[in-house]
Amino acid sequence: MKIDRKEVEYVAHLARLELKPKEAEEFTGQLDQILGYFDKLNLLDTSGVEPTSHAIPITNAFREDEVKESCDQDTALENAPSEEGGFFKVPKIIE
Q: How big is the CA angle at 58 (ends 53 and 59), to the nearest 5 degrees?
A: 125
In this structure, what DSSP letter does residue 79 have?
T
Structural domains of the chain, with CATH? 5-42 (1.10.20.60)
pLDDT over threshold 70, residue 11 = yes
First to last CA, the chain: 57
Instruction: Report the pLDDT value the prediction gives residue 9, as an integer from 0 to 100.
Output: 94
Interatomic CA distance for residues 9 and 25, integer angstroms? 10
Position 1 confidence tier, pLDDT thresholds 50, 70, 90? low
pTM of the entire predicted model: 0.47
pLDDT over threshold 70, residue 48 = yes
pLDDT over threshold 90, residue 60 = no
